[in-house]
Structure 1
Amino acid sequence: MTIESGAPAGRERLKLRAGTIAWFLAIVVLLLGLPVLLDIGWFAPVVLIVLALLLALPIFWLVRRIFTGQRRQSAAKVYAKTALGVAAVVTLIVATPLYVLAAIPAVRPMTLPQATLSNGEKTVVFQGMVHIGSEGFYKSVVYDLEKALTEDYVIFYEGVRGDPAGDQWFSDTLAGGGDLSTNYTQMGDICGLDFQLTYFSLLDADIAARPERHVNADVSTADMMREYERLSAADPDFAARIEADKAPAPADGDTVGGDLAEAFAFVQSATPGQQSLIGVACRGYMTWLLGQKSEPSDLDPIILDFRNRELAKKIEEGPDKIFITYGANHLPGLLETLRASDPNWEIGSIKWMRGIDTPEELDGEI
C-alpha cells in the first residue's frame, strides 16, 4: 500500500521539479532576450506578445485535448502558461544568434601576426594587417611603428598605388566597381570598427619630416593589370576563369560600393540600439569569416603571388632594418619567396594581436 501510493507521489514530485526548472529557464530566457528586443525597438516586445498569444492558441487547444491534468486547471491559466512558453521560445530564436555572434570575438578571436624575420644580415618585422579592425589594434600598431622609427627602421606600407592606365581595370576587376578606401570606411562604420588608414594619419608629421623612412612598397594598378595580361597571354584558361568569376554587369550603375552606401545610410538612420545590434552581428560575423581558412582564389596569382614577389625584391634591395605593414595573408607566400633566393630567411619570433574586439565604452562622473 505504501509502495503503490509512493510511486505516484514520486512521479508528481518529479513533474513538479521539472516544471519548476522549465519555467525558471523560460523566465531567464525572457530576461536575457529583453535587452535585444528593446534595442530592436519599442515595437519588438509588443510584436512578441501578439505573436505569442496567436501561436499559443493551437498549442493551448492541443494541450487541453491531450493532457487530462491540464483540463482540470482553468483555461485562462493554461493559456497564460502556454503563451509565456511560446514567448520564451520566440525570444530564444531571436536573441540566441546575436548572443552567439557577440561571443565569437571573445571566444574565437581573429588574431594577426607580428613576425620578426631575418637572414642573418637583414631584419624584417612583418606586421599582419586587416583593412578594418578595432581601435586598440591600430593604436598598438602605430605605437610599434613609432618605436621602430626610433630604432632606425624603414617602414614599408601596403597600398596599391593609383595609375590612370590601370585604375578602371582595377575598379572593375578587383574592387567591385567602387573605391576600396570608401568601401572599407563604410563597412567599418556599419560594424563599429575603424579603417586602418585613419590611424596611419598619426604618422603624417614624421612622413613629412622624413619621407625616406616611409615607403609605399606595393605595386600600382597598372602593374597588376599588366601582370593580368601577361598571365592571360600565357594561359588563356586563366583569363576565362577570371571572367567566369565576375558577377554579371550591374544595372543602373549599381556596385558593391553602392550597396555599402545604402547599408551605411540605413545604419545612420537606425536607432542607437539598432546600431549596437548591427555592430555586434557584423563584428561577430567578420571575426568568424576572417578566421576561416580561405580557399585559393583564381586571382591569387595577381593579388598575392605577384605582389609578394615585388615586395621581396624591395626587401632584398632595401635597408637592413625594415618594418612592414601588410595583409596577414601575405606572410606565408612572402617568406617562401624570400627563401627561394636565400634559404637563410627564418622567423625568429612571432606574437599575436587581436584584430577585432568589442568597442569599449566607459562611464564616469566628474
Structure 2
Amino acid sequence: MTDNAAASSVPAGLWAVRLGAIIWFLLIVGCLMALPVMLDATWLLVAAAVVLALLAGALWAFLRRLISSRHGRFGHDWLKGGLAAFFVLCIAIAAPIYYIAVKTETDPALLPRAVLTNGEKTVVYQGMMHIGTERFYKQVVYDAEKALSDGYVLYYEGVQPNPEGDKWFADNLAGGGDLSDNYRKLGEMCGLQFQLGYFDLLEKDKAVHPQSHVTADVDTLQMKQEYDRLMASDPEFAAAFQAEQAAQSNAGGDMAGAMGFLDNLTEGQKKLSGYVCRFMMSRVAKGNGEARQIDKVILDFRNRKLAERILADPHDKIYITYGAHHLEGILPLLQQADPRWRVESVSWIRPVEAPEQFEASL
C-alpha cells in the first residue's frame, strides 16, 4: 500500500482529533510562556483573564447548544471553551512583550564609527547614546585610549553649565531635574548603563595630558540664546515648540516625575519595563522618530559649533564621541567648508541588548 493510499484510509474524524490535539498543545505551551509575564506585571491580569475566560466559555457553551444538535453537557462545553479562551487571552496579553524582546535582539540598533578625512585631517567619529550596555562603553573607551596613544585629541559631547542658562536648560530640555540623574535612572529601568561612569577611566590621562581632552560642546546659555533667537525670528519654531511643551505637559509632566513613578514599580514590573525601554531606545538609536522643531537647537546649532571647532583645530587627528544623530548634519557642514571631506570607512557597534545573566553552582 502506498503512502497516499494509507493517508486516504485515515478517517476524517481522526485527522480532526490529531489537529485538535496539536492546537491544544500549542495553546497550553503558549499559556505557560505567557503566565510568567502576566505575573511579573500583576496577578490581577491573571484574575481578569480567568473571569473573562469563564464568561467566554459560558457564552460558547450557550451558543453551541443553540446552533448545534451535537453538543455535550453544558458544564463540559463551558469548561472546554473557558480553558481555550483563557489560553488565548494569556497569549494575547504576553505577545507584545515577547515581540519587542525578540525584535530588539534580532533587529538591533547599530551606531557608526566613521572615519572622515579631507586628506590633511582625520576625524574618527564614534556615534554615542547616553545609555547603553557595559560592553558598548568599554569598547568605546578602549578605542579612545588607543586613539590617544596614536596621537589623537579626544572630543567629548556634553552641554556645559552656565548659571545664566542652567534653569532654562533644566526646565525646557532636560525634562526637569538633573539630566545626568534622569539618564542614570532611565538606564536602571532599561537594564543598561549611563555613559559617564565609563569615561571616568580616562580621568588619569586627562590629568596628565589635559590638552588632549576637549569638551567640544556649547553651554546652557549659548543654547538659550539660540532658542531666544529662533523664538523671535522663526514663527514655525515658536508655534511648534509651544505645542510640543503643551503635549508633554498633557502626557504626564516632566522626565523627573516619570522617573519617580518608575521607582515604585515591583521587580517584575521593572523587568518588563526594561524590555519596553530597550525596544524604545533601539528605535531612538535608529532614528525612528519624528523631526522636532527643537532639534534646531539640540542638533543643528550644536552641529554648527562642532564643525567650526573641527575646522579651526590645528590638530590633524581628532577622535570624537558624540551623539550618533549629529553625524549626518556635521559631515555636510564640513563639506561646505571643504568639498574634499569624505567618509573613508564605517564600522558599526551595537549599543543596546538584553543584560547578560550567568548562573552556576560550585
* CA distance in 2 between partners of 1:151 and 1:116 (Å): 15
Q: 1:124 deviation in Å?
A: 0.6
Distance 1:248 1:90, change over 3 A: closer
Identity %: 44
Query: Which residue is 1:338 aligned to?
Result: 334
* CA distance in 2 between partners of 1:355 and 1:26 (Å): 36
Amino acid at match of 2:280: Y
The runs of 5 or more residues in structure 1 that have no matched partner are 1-6
* CA distance in 2 between partners of 1:230 and 1:44 (Å): 51
Moved more, 183-192 or 235-244: 235-244
Equivalent residue runs for 1:1-366 within 5 Å: 10-40=11-41, 45=46, 48-69=49-70, 71=71, 73-247=72-246, 255-263=254-262, 265-267=263-265, 270-271=266-267, 273-318=268-313, 319-366=315-362
Is the contact between residue 104 and residue 287 of structure 1 (CA under 8 Å) also seen in structure 2? no
Q: 1:45 deviation in Å?
A: 4.5
* CA distance in 1 between partners of 2:82 and 2:33 (Å): 18
**Cα shift readout 1:231-266 (whole Å, capped 9, x = no counterpart):** 344434533433343227969x96321222222x12
* CA distance in 1 between partners of 2:223 and 2:344 (Å): 32
The runs of 5 or more residues in structure 2 that have no matched partner are 1-7
Is the contact between residue 115 and residue 349 of structure 1 (CA under 8 Å) also seen in structure 2? yes
* CA distance in 2 between partners of 1:235 and 1:46 (Å): 54
Q: Alignment partner of 2:322: what SS?
A: strand
Q: Alignment partner of 1:355: what SS?
A: coil
Is the contact between residue 312 and residue 337 of structure 1 (CA under 8 Å) also seen in structure 2? yes
* CA distance in 1 between partners of 2:193 and 2:286 (Å): 18
**Cα shift readout 1:248-296 (whole Å, capped 9, x = no counterpart):** 7969x96321222222x123xx13x332222122212332354353333
Provide the alpha-carbon RMSD of the alignment: 2.5
Is the contact between residue 156 and residue 214 of structure 2 (CA under 8 Å) also seen in structure 1? yes
* CA distance in 2 between partners of 1:292 and 1:17 (Å): 48
Distance 1:21 1:177, change over 3 A: same
Q: 1:105 deviation in Å?
A: 1.4
Distance 1:63 1:209, change over 3 A: farther
Distance 1:9 1:152, change over 3 A: closer
Distance 1:186 1:152, change over 3 A: same
**Cα shift readout 1:160-200 (whole Å, capped 9, x = no counterpart):** 10101111222222223332212111111111111111211
Distance 1:45 1:328, change over 3 A: same
Aligned residues: 354
Q: Alignment partner of 2:346: what SS?
A: strand
Q: TM-score, normalised by structure 2?
A: 0.89
Q: Alignment partner of 2:358: what SS?
A: coil
Q: 1:349 deviation in Å?
A: 0.6
* CA distance in 2 between partners of 1:174 and 1:37 (Å): 35
Moved more, 253-262 or 298-307: 253-262
Q: 1:36 deviation in Å?
A: 1.8
**Cα shift readout 1:35-63 (whole Å, capped 9, x = no counterpart):** 32343356655554444234321222212
Q: 1:317 deviation in Å?
A: 2.0
Distance 1:119 1:9, change over 3 A: closer
Q: Alignment partner of 1:124: what SS?
A: strand
What stretches of structure 1 move > 6 A for 4+ residues in a row? none
Is the contact between residue 157 and residue 324 of structure 1 (CA under 8 Å) also seen in structure 2? yes
Amino acid at match of 1:288: R
Q: Alignment partner of 1:113: what SS?
A: strand
* CA distance in 2 between partners of 1:346 and 1:55 (Å): 63
Distance 1:175 1:75, change over 3 A: same
* CA distance in 1 between partners of 2:294 and 2:356 (Å): 37
Is the contact between residue 104 and residue 288 of structure 1 (CA under 8 Å) also seen in structure 2? no
Q: Alignment partner of 2:32: what SS?
A: helix
* CA distance in 2 between partners of 1:233 and 1:32 (Å): 56
Is the contact between residue 100 and residue 279 of structure 2 (CA under 8 Å) also seen in structure 1? yes
Query: Which residue is 1:3 aligned to?
Result: none
**Cα shift readout 1:85-138 (whole Å, capped 9, x = no counterpart):** 011111111110110011111121111101011111111110101111122111
